Amino acid sequence: MKVKVISRILEANDRIAEDNRRLFNEKGIYVINLMSGPGAGKTSLLVKTIEALKDSVSIGVIEGDITGTEDAERIHSTGVPVVQINTGGACHLDANMIEEVLPELPLDSIQLLFIENVGNLVCPAEFNVGEDIKVMLLSVTEGEDKPLKYPLMFQESAALVLNKVDLLPYLDLDMERLKERAMSLNPKLKVFELSCKTGSGLDAWTDYLFRMVAEKNR
């Protein structure tokens, strides 16, 4: 019975996600569902990305948290439109939550929409919200075992951003083993190594985003 209930929940979510996707496609909006565990640096990555791209790409953000508005306030300070979703305990965003807040965003003037999901390495990977791609952010401080423990996150993501590489000299981490484990789950995974603190590697990430937005609007 539990399996049937979960299946019905996912089916209902997917129907709404398709409605969201049709709207995004009509508006020419490239949508990224950004996922990570708590503290990996999703908001820091968004701030750096916005700073690098906002003069050439119009950006919007949907912030997902269990409670609080601190991350949304950080995004608001960059000058881009942002809306906050507080799930009240739910460990992920779903398509219905996204659908409900879309009227609060100026969709006609947004080319790139980030959906910053709740910090969690399990549930967000299961729920489609209408995005073009899922992107997983992993801090190198989390260790090289995460692909083994949370395989679905890596399998469902089109890109993996490895953040905080400035800390590598202080960590007992085999970066090549981490990437090999991730790629064994998803050979098509695009991997970006960067540091939000130093700016190292950010150009490759923002260049990739610029290309994706341009391709959608050809």
- pLDDT per residue as tens digits for the range 71-102: 999 999 999 999 999 999 889 999 999 999 99
- pLDDT per residue as tens digits for the range 13-62: 999 999 999 999 999 999 999 999 999 999 999 999 999 999 999 999 99
Report the pLDDT averaged over residues 129-158: 97
Cα 133 to chain centroid, rounded: 8
pTM for this predicted structure = 0.95
**Tell me, what's the pLDDT at 69?**
94
**Tell me, what's the pLDDT at 80?**
98
Quick check: 95 and 21 in contact, CB under 8 A?
A: no
Full set of structural domains in the chain with CATH? 2-216 (3.40.50.300)
Would you say residue 1 has pLDDT above 50? no
Smallest CA-to-CA distance from 83 within 99, 146, 121 is with: 99
Share of the chain above pLDDT 70, in %: 96
**Tell me, what's the pLDDT at 2?**
47
Please, which residues bridge with residue 135 across strands?
34, 159
**Tell me, what's the pLDDT at 6?**
55
Please, which residues bridge with residue 137 across strands?
36, 161
The Cα–Cα gap between 121 and 108 comes to: 32
**Tell me, what's the pLDDT at 218?**
80
Would you say residue 144 has pLDDT above 50? yes
Q: What is the longest distance spanned by two Cα atoms in the chain?
A: 52
Quick check: 118 and 64 in contact, CB under 8 A?
A: yes
- pLDDT per residue as tens digits for the range 164-217: 999 999 999 999 999 999 999 999 999 999 999 999 999 999 999 999 999 998
Quick check: 119 and 18 in contact, CB under 8 A?
A: no
Specify the DSSP class assigned to residue 105: S
Residues belonging to the chain: 218
**Tell me, what's the pLDDT at 101?**
97
